[in-house]
């Protein structure tokens, strides 16, 4: 196919589009050394405020926020449940975004990031379901009901678990990443279903108290601790994913170093380092010695 005409025929050298600049910026991150350095600098800026804000928000919610007029103190479960629910969806959106970058641009970091977001997102989704159950039993009178909101979040948990197992299902890790990315992108259809389930259908679950379009239907004395906790947990989520991703990049470098050494037939150095090339299993994964 002939190349498309330049959008600026008057300028002799067309400036790269914002999109092209973004993708080239992403590609510079593909350099593992650069990523490791930047990520190590970023880590404390996520970890410290994440821990502090989460602790502050949870203590605020547990001790200082008022009890609800009809739910009593059970409303305090909200300060764990609602941020977990938001993170479950946001984490999946990030997983789907990484999968798109992986499928279209074949960015090596996107595969690793998707594989590290998956388990953390699954844990947060499980926490959301468990705390929801603990809240539903005393308030609704049921641990679980099959309404549209609860069911669609359960589907989200299964999508996370499916992604987790697909990444690890193939001998060739690249095939695993590819298959998992396809699943993650297809599963993204669940996100709007979760979001709008409480508007589209009759559910036992309440409609959203906090929306982007309308005023919140929650007292400010409860809204503030909720927002602080949600911000803290989001930073904490990002910090944990970043930490795992840094470890994953290092592990990959270790694998490639060991494999190249094994290919060269020189195992001496690796052995002196307490490592052997045959501590790698079939798919090049590190096996604990």
Shorter beta-carbon distance to other proteins: residue 165 or 221: 221
Shorter beta-carbon distance to other proteins: residue 10 or 215: 215
User: Least separation, in Å, of the C-beta of 170 and other proteins?
Assistant: 20
Indicate the Cα dihedral angle 256, 262, 264, 267, nearest 10°: 120
Give the H or E element holding residue 37: helix 32-59
User: Least separation, in Å, of the C-beta of 76 and other proteins?
Assistant: 5
User: Least separation, in Å, of the C-beta of 167 and other proteins?
Assistant: 16
Shorter beta-carbon distance to other proteins: residue 40 or 169: 40
Whole-angstrom CA distances from 143 to 80, 131, 139, 140 are 17, 10, 10, 8
| Residue linked to tokens 């650069």 | 34
- Nearest Cα neighbor of 192 from 250, 232, 149 is 149
User: Least separation, in Å, of the C-beta of 88 and other proteins?
Assistant: 12
User: Least separation, in Å, of the C-beta of 206 and other proteins?
Assistant: 5
Q: Residue 166 — φ and ψ, nearest 5°?
A: -65, -40
Shorter beta-carbon distance to other proteins: residue 165 or 206: 206
Tell me how far apart the alpha carbons of residues 94 and 92 are, in angstroms, rounded to a whole number: 5
Give the H or E element holding residue 85: helix 78-105
User: Least separation, in Å, of the C-beta of 12 and other proteins?
Assistant: 23
Check if the beta carbon of residue 112 is closer than 8 Å to that of residue 253: no
Sign of the Cα pseudo-torsion (113, 115, 120, 122, in order)? positive
Residues 6+ apart with CB under 8 A from 34: 28
Shorter beta-carbon distance to other proteins: residue 1 or 13: 1
User: b/e string for 245-271 if b means 16 or more Cβ within 10 A?
Assistant: bbebbeebeebeebeebeeeeeeeebe
Shorter beta-carbon distance to other proteins: residue 93 or 250: 250
User: Least separation, in Å, of the C-beta of 84 and other proteins?
Assistant: 8
Shorter beta-carbon distance to other proteins: residue 108 or 236: 236
Q: Residue 57 — φ and ψ, nearest 5°?
A: -65, -40
Shorter beta-carbon distance to other proteins: residue 16 or 72: 72
User: Least separation, in Å, of the C-beta of 58 and other proteins?
Assistant: 7
């Amino acid at each position: 196919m002939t190349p498309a005409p330049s959008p600026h025929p008057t300028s002799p050298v067309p400036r790269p589009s914002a999109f092209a600049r973004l993708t080239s910026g992403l590609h510079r991150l593909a350099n593992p050394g650069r990523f490791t350095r930047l990520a190590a600098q970023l880590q404390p800026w996520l970890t410290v405020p994440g821990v502090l804000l989460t602790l502050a928000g949870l203590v605020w919610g547990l001790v200082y926020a008022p009890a609800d007029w009809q739910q009593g103190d059970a409303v305090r479960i909200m300060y764990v449940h609602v941020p977990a629910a938001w993170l479950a969806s946001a984490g999946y959106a990030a997983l789907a975004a990484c999968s798109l970058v992986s499928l279209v641009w074949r960015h090596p970091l996107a595969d690793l990031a998707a594989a590290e977001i998956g388990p953390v997102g699954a844990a947060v989704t499980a926490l959301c379901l468990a705390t929801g159950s603990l809240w539903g039993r005393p308030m609704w009178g049921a641990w679980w009901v099959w309404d549209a909101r609860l069911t669609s979040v359960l589907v989200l948990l299964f999508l996370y678990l499916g992604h987790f197992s697909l990444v690890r299902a193939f001998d060739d890790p690249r095939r695993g990443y590819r298959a998992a990315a396809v699943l993650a992108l297809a599963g993204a259809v669940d996100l709007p279903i979760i979001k709008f389930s409480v508007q589209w259908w009759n559910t036992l679950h309440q409609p959203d108290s906090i929306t982007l379009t309308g005023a919140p239907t929650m007292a400010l004395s409860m809204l503030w601790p909720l927002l602080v906790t949600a911000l803290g947990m989001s930073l904490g989520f990002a910090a944990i994913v970043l930490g795992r991703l840094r470890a994953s990049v290092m592990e990959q470098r270790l694998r490639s170093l060991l494999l190249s050494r094994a290919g060269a037939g020189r195992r001496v150095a690796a052995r002196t380092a307490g490592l052997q090339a045959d501590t790698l299993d079939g798919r090049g994964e590190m096996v604990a010695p």
